[in-house]
């Protein structure tokens, strides 16, 4: 079956075979590594925790004193969690509807205040004074165990 | 019938005893109104249709023609309904309109039954207005109640069809104030409405639909309408622009403007034509508000250039870091934390633009520095995210290459096995 003119006394086969085996083995190893690397990266948690989507843990019960507020991260936007003097949790978007500044809770006013142009919102997010043209989006707040979970309201 | 007449008589006596302005009670709405029988057929200005009068808030509350014009609308014949004995007053002279309306509207006890929160100081306010003062001097061309509120179809300000609804006020005022021929004797400009329509206030009100945005009456008052005046314009603007006014009060411009007799706010921002402020108002370019007073070589000129340069630097830094973060996000990289911080940089830029009203470079510099510090960090986060993207791309390329090598190796291996088998079978 050998092709005419092929010199079978030469030993090229073991070298070629080794080369092919090396190629195959190395390729398999590299492929396995390239498959495993993303899996390992997936298992190792990222430096910042984000539940993503429409729900986020805004803090833990006890983090906030009554009549105080704090900014939490809701995706790439800031949210404002307020623990009212009546010990109720309220969560609002912290982006002012006037020029997108970040609002804050004012414990002296018991209202939400924007430091850029003195815009004021009530604790339901309604714009009550200053330049803001629209209310702040308000979120649902649930306490699950010791976590304060904030959820975007479902639009009807 | 006799009983009904008796009832009406008792009620009228009761109202008179209580010192009421003598209006027909709300029940009068149910009674026939013979005035409209004829007047609905008349042409303007005597014509008042039933539909028109039905839209009037007074008619809806049970008042009738007689409430203002006297007479008795329940009587069938003109002689009876318009008899002087029945108190028929007929046409109300323009000069008497404010006092006529005030018979009820200045009576707090009477108005309480319709709207307890409605103000009852309109007439006293009107007396302080330019309109009221001129009317007192005998000028009947000035605005009286009915010019702004309309007549016979007066709607409350909350009704979008009302002439005094926030969206309609400017047009209502412009009916006289934009009429050059009508305003000629008063020697005042007539371009206020044209200017206002180009203003940021009009845009906020009419385009953005913010009904709290200013219209004529916000700055001039309504019943007491008068120009704010040079000395008080700052107080008027500061009702909304609180921080700017506070900063202006601490600025070197405060005393300088007073000394020069220049109004605050308006000198740089204009009055009716308040356009959206921009960074071009700083510096020394063609749109500069500074070069009106400051000339090359003085401190203000140098400060104007510094303000513009520093604000522009922060603006550029915010745009640059925003752009790289957006790019990283489009490539699917996780940059939400950096984008959150980026919002703080935009805050700093907005604050710096407000702080400009202190006209003190060290105060503006604080906001600029705060913003630049954040943008440096967020830009770096964007660079790292793009580096990570490149790393992942290279990784994908290498793994694809590795898979290709495996495929080639397998192919060669299979060929070798096949050729070995072939040899064996030969």
The answer to whether A24 contacts B409, with C-beta atoms less than 8 Å apart, is yes
* pLDDT of the residue at B11: 40
* pLDDT of the residue at B361: 93
Question: 3-state DSSP call for residue B124?
Answer: helix
User: What average pLDDT does range B9-23 have in this prediction?
Assistant: 41
* pLDDT of the residue at B363: 94
Confirm or reject contact between B156 and chain A (CB < 8 A). no
The answer to whether A1 contacts B210, with C-beta atoms less than 8 Å apart, is no
For B378-413, what is the HEC assignment?
A: HHHHHHHHHHHHHHHHHHHHHHHHHHHHHHHHHHHH
Average pLDDT, chain B: 89
Task: Give the pTM.
Answer: 0.77
Give tens-digit pLDDT for B248-282. 999 999 999 999 999 999 999 999 999 889 999 99
pLDDT of A12 strictly over 80: no
Long-range CB pairs of B153-157, under 8 A, 24+ apart, other chains included:
B153/B52, B153/B53, B153/B55, B153/B56, B154/B56, B154/B57, B154/B58, B155/B55, B155/B56, B155/B57, B156/B57
Q: To which residue do tokens 């008349």 refer? A: B42
Measured in angstroms, the CA of B400 and the nearest CA of chain A are apart by 8
pLDDT of A6 strictly over 70: no
Choose the weakest-confidence range: B23-27, B120-124, B228-232, B358-362.
Answer: B23-27
User: What average pLDDT does range B66-93 have in this prediction?
Assistant: 91
* pLDDT of the residue at B14: 38
pLDDT of A47 strictly over 70: no
Cα Rg of chain B, angstroms: 36
pLDDT of B409 strictly over 60: yes
pLDDT of B194 strictly over 80: yes
Give tens-digit pLDDT for B177-188. 999 999 999 999
Contacts of A24 in chain B (CB under 8 A): 406, 409-410, 412-413
* pLDDT of the residue at B365: 96
Measured in angstroms, the CA of A14 and the nearest CA of chain B are apart by 11
pLDDT of B27 strictly over 80: no
pLDDT of B359 strictly over 80: yes
Of B336, B350, B416, the CB nearest to A20: B416
pLDDT of A148 strictly over 60: yes
Buried b (16+ CB within 10 A) or exposed e, A118-133: bbbbbbebebeebbbe
Within 390-409 of B, beta carbons closer than 8 Å to A belong to: 395, 398-399, 401-409
* pLDDT of the residue at B164: 96
Q: How far apart are CA B346 and CA B355, in angstroms?
A: 14
pLDDT of B345 strictly over 90: yes
Give percent above pLDDT 70 in chain B: 91
Average pLDDT, chain A: 85
Question: B9 Cβ partners below 8 Å, 6+ apart?
Answer: none
Measured in angstroms, the CA of A86 and the nearest CA of chain B are apart by 30
Other Cβ atoms less than 10 A from the Cβ of B76: the count is: 10
Query: What pLDDT band is residue B421 in, cutting at 50, 70 and 90?
Result: low
List Cα–Cα distances, B325 to A78, B46, B318, B337, in angstroms. 16, 69, 11, 10
A68-74, strands of its sheet edge to edge: A55-60, A147-151, A138-144, A89-93, A77-83, A68-74
Choose the weakest-confidence range: A54-58, A101-105, B243-247, B364-368.
Answer: A54-58
Buried b (16+ CB within 10 A) or exposed e, B335-370: bbbbbbbbbbbbbbbbbbbbbbbbbbeebbbebbeb
The answer to whether A100 contacts B351, with C-beta atoms less than 8 Å apart, is no
The answer to whether A102 contacts B344, with C-beta atoms less than 8 Å apart, is yes
pLDDT of B5 strictly over 60: no
pLDDT of B230 strictly over 90: no
The most confident of the ranges A4-8, B126-130, B273-277 is: B126-130
Question: B163 Cβ partners below 8 Å, 6+ apart?
Answer: B148, B149, B150, B155, B169, B172
Of B213, B243, B343, the CB nearest to A100: B343
Q: How far apart are CA B244 and CA B274, in angstroms?
A: 15
- Is residue B357 within 8 Å of B265, Cβ to Cβ? no
Q: How far apart are CA B272 and CA B355, in angstroms?
A: 24
Q: How far apart are CA B239 and CA B156, in angstroms?
A: 25
Query: What pLDDT band is residue B16 in, cutting at 50, 70 and 90?
Result: very low
* pLDDT of the residue at A89: 95
Give tens-digit pLDDT for B153-173. 999 999 999 999 999 999 999
pLDDT of B10 strictly over 50: no
Q: How far apart are CA B331 and CA B390, in angstroms?
A: 10
Give percent above pLDDT 90 in chain B: 69
User: What average pLDDT does range B54-78 have in this prediction?
Assistant: 92
Choose the weakest-confidence range: A34-38, B29-33, B170-174, B382-386.
Answer: B29-33
């Amino acid at each position: 079956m050998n092709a005419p003119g092929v010199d079978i006394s030469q030993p090229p086969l073991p070298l070629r075979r080794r080369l092919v085996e090396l190629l195959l083995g190395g390729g398999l190893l590299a492929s396995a590594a390239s498959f495993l690397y993303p899996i390992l990266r997936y298992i190792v948690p990222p430096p910042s925790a984000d539940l993503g989507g429409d729900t986020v843990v805004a803090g833990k019960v006890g983090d906030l004193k009554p009549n105080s507020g704090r900014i939490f991260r809701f995706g790439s936007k800031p949210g404002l969690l307020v623990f009212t003097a009546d010990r109720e949790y309220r969560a609002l978007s912290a982006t002012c509807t006037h020029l997108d500044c970040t609002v804050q809770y004012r414990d002296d006013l018991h209202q939400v205040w924007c430091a850029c142009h003195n815009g004021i919102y009530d604790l339901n997010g309604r714009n009550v004074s200053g330049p803001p043209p629209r209310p702040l989006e308000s979120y649902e707040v649930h306490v699950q165990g010791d976590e304060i979970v904030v959820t975007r309201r479902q639009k009807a | 019938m006799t009983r009904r007449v008796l009832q009406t008589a008792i009620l009228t006596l009761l109202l008179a005893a209580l010192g009421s302005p003598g209006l027909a009670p709300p029940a009068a709405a149910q009674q026939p109104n013979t005035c409209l029988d004829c007047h609905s057929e008349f042409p303007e200005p005597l014509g008042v249709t039933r539909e028109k009068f039905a839209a009037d808030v007074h008619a809806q509350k049970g008042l009738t023609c007689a409430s203002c014009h006297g007479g008795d609308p329940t009587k069938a014949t003109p002689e009876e309904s318009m008899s002087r004995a029945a108190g028929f007053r007929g046409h109300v002279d323009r000069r008497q309109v404010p006092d006529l309306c005030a018979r009820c509207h200045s009576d707090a006890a009477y108005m309480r039954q319709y709207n307890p929160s409605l103000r009852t100081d309109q007439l006293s306010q009107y007396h302080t207005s330019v309109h009221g003062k001129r009317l007192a001097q005998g000028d009947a061309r000035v605005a009286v109640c009915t010019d702004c509120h309309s007549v016979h179809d007066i709607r409350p300000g909350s009704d979008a069809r009302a002439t005094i609804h926030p969206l309609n006020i400017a047009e209502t005022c412009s009916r006289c104030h934009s009429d050059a021929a009508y305003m000629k004797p008063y020697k005042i400009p007539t371009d206020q409405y044209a200017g206002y329509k180009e203003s940021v206030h009009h845009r906020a009100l009419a385009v953005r639909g913010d009904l709290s945005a200013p219209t004529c009456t916000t700055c001039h008052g309504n019943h007491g309408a008068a120009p704010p005046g040079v000395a008080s314009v700052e107080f008027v603007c500061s009702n909304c622009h609180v921080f700017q006014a506070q900063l202006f009060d601490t600025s070197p411009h405060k005393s300088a403007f007073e000394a020069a007799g220049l109004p605050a706010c308006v000198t740089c921002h204009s009055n009716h034509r308040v356009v959206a402020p921009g960074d071009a108002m700083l510096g020394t370019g063609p749109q500069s508000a500074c070069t009106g007073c400051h000339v090359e070589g003085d401190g203000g000129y140098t400060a104007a250039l510094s303000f513009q340069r520093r604000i522009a630097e922060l603006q550029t830094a915010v745009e640059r870091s925003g752009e790289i973060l957006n790019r990283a996000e489009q490539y699917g990289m996780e940059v939400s934390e950096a984008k959150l911080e980026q919002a703080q940089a935009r805050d700093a830029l907005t604050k710096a633009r407000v702080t400009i009203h202190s006209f003190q470079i060290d105060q503006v510099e604080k906001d600029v520095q705060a913003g630049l510090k954040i943008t440096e960090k967020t830009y770096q986060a964007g660079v790292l995210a793009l580096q990570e993207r490149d790393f992942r791309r290279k990784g994908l390329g290498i793994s694809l290459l590795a898979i290709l090598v495996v495929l080639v190796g397998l192919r060669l291996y299979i060929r070798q096995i096949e050729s070995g088998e072939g040899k064996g079978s030969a």
